[in-house]
Structure 1
Amino acid sequence: MNDLVSIHVDGHKGWLTMNRPDKLNALSRELVAEMKNGLDQLSENENVKVIVLSGEGKSFCAGGDIASMNDIASSSEAAKWVEYVSSLSRKILEIDKYVVAAIHGYAAGAGFSLALACDFIIAKKDAKFALSFSNIGLIPDLGLIRSLSERVPSPIAKEWISSSKIVTAVEAHEQGIVNRLTEGSLYDEVTDFTKFIEEGPNVVNKYVKFLINHIDDASLDNYFMTENIIQTTLLQTYDHKEGVQAFFEKRKPHFQGR
């Protein structure tokens, strides 16, 4: 890993922090590569139950790096760039563990896309989410249209995107996009929020994330079949047996992820 990202494991939390503050953590090819490597590293760490994505400096992420986009000279290069940077959102969505976005300053453009790819968003009350794509003649990318439309009504999504709206954290919270707001320490708020993940059975969280993220991918019959197979598997786990025993013993369960 190099200094474009920093990784810190705190309890069962793995912090992945974008460290390009001079560019407001704009997504260059190099930063995307280091973030994907960092996500793989934290995903493979058995002690980590939840990954927290944050940004160093004044803002979470200012979006795509304009300099990187200016270097694109052909349609084939443009296609490769879009596919490459979009793979970061896909990795966040497909990773087995819950990912929390910790937002301060601006999450603009592709930065908003990354936040929406995460499972939860914790934001400073004065943070802002910018949908600036139409100002430069583009549609949102990195999965933003899909992720936003899953959270707000279609007319709201269309209005926000086509008007290049800047959404305040308060408005995003009211619309159900942001899980929690804080005027205090973002670190403390994230730590408090993630307790239920750190103390819970991560094998269950893995399947909950999968089922919800793929809820529209299958027919009703296939969905129930998948759910039944997963439940059958979970009924055989240590964590299920520990949860039942703790229930009868009137104590807190100690899950081990197996």
Structure 2
Amino acid sequence: MSNLVLLHEEDGVTTITLNRPEQVNALNEEMLNVLATKLKEASENDSKIIVLQGNGKAFSAGGDLNMIASADNDNAFSDIMNIIEQIVLTLYQMPKITIAALNGSAAGLGLSLALGCDYVLAKSDAKIAMNFIGIGLIPDGAGHFMMQQRVGTVRAKHLIWEGKKLEANEAKGIGLIDFVITSDLDQSVKQYTDKLKNSPILAMIQTKTIYHQQQLDELKSILAAETTAQTAMRKTNDHHEGVDAFLNKRQPDFKWE
């Protein structure tokens, strides 16, 4: 199998590593398929703790622009959105405690996945952004749901609309990050997983299950709405203008069409 996503299980902890560092772990279709497989494997193994991290200088820059551009018909795009939905639902229903460890930037779909974890830990120099708006798109990967869960509807709307890049401490201040790490991230994650190992983790997982089962229908509804809306947004001139502006490093000129 592809090594775009790595899985390592040791002493009750499964570590899943996004492994496309040369492309800042941008998620293409192959990588999404492998991630879906690895998450399913992790959900069924004996570990009670899952760590999701990125190899290299970033957690994930989000969805690969080449993947978005190459999905040139609704069926191809639907396949991609179905994979993303599978990943989100597997992660959300994981009967484990999940930790996202952000060693660098987490943007777009990458941020949606990080926020899908129970805890988000980030290096002090990490930056996050729900930045779909810059290319005329909306959040996917349940970004709407995850942002609303953490910061409320009004603030989630504003953050999505602005696409603002947030420093780690600023993100912690509004609840998008749980812990800012000023020392070695790997060591800090290990300290936290060691703490969890000495906790009544079965009771913790039951509390998670109660909350997540109650909200599962809402999550599925938002995922379906994101697919419908994203399919429509991909066909707008604003989206094509946003992508061209991004690739050519200029300000976009959106026309609302």
Q: What TM-score comes out, normalization by structure 2 length?
A: 0.79
Report how far residue 199 of structure 1 moved: 2.3
**Residues 52 and 102 in structure 1, CA contact (< 8 A), matched pair in contact too:** yes
Counterparts of 1:14 and 1:212 in 2: how far apart (Å)? 23
1:95-130 CA-partner distances (Å, limit 9, x unpaired): 111110000211010000000111110100111111
Which stretch shows the higher mean deviation, 5-14 or 197-206? Answer: 197-206
**Residues 54 and 60 in structure 1, CA contact (< 8 A), matched pair in contact too:** yes
Counterparts of 2:142 and 2:216 in 1: how far apart (Å)? 16
Letter in 1 for 2:77: A
Counterparts of 1:144 and 1:169 in 2: how far apart (Å)? 18
Counterparts of 2:212 and 2:164 in 1: how far apart (Å)? 26
**Counterparts of 1:55-94 in structure 2 under 5 Å?**
55-94=54-93
Counterparts of 2:212 and 2:174 in 1: how far apart (Å)? 19
**Residues 126 and 169 in structure 1, CA contact (< 8 A), matched pair in contact too:** yes
**Residues 108 and 139 in structure 2, CA contact (< 8 A), matched pair in contact too:** yes
Letter in 2 for 1:40: K
After superposition, the Cα gap between the structure-2 partners of 1:216 and 1:9, relative to the gap in structure 1 and judged at 3 Å, is: closer
- Which protein has greater RCO, CA pairs closer than 8 Å, 6+ apart? 2
Structure with higher helix content: 2
Letter in 1 for 2:8: H
1:15 maps to: 15
**Residues 48 and 95 in structure 2, CA contact (< 8 A), matched pair in contact too:** no
1:226 maps to: none
> SS at 1:113's partner residue?
helix
**Residues 36 and 88 in structure 1, CA contact (< 8 A), matched pair in contact too:** yes
Counterparts of 1:200 and 1:26 in 2: how far apart (Å)? 35
2:187 maps to: 188
Q: What TM-score comes out, normalization by structure 1 length?
A: 0.79
Letter in 1 for 2:4: L
Report how far residue 217 of structure 1 moved: 6.1
Q: Name which one, 1 or 2, has greater alpha-carbon Rg.
A: 1
1:35 maps to: 35
Q: How many residues align?
A: 217
1:12-55 CA-partner distances (Å, limit 9, x unpaired): 21111011111111111111121122222222221x11010000
**Residues 49 and 197 in structure 1, CA contact (< 8 A), matched pair in contact too:** no
What is the percent sequence identity of the aligned residues?
32
1:209 maps to: 208
Report how far residue 77 of structure 1 moved: 2.2
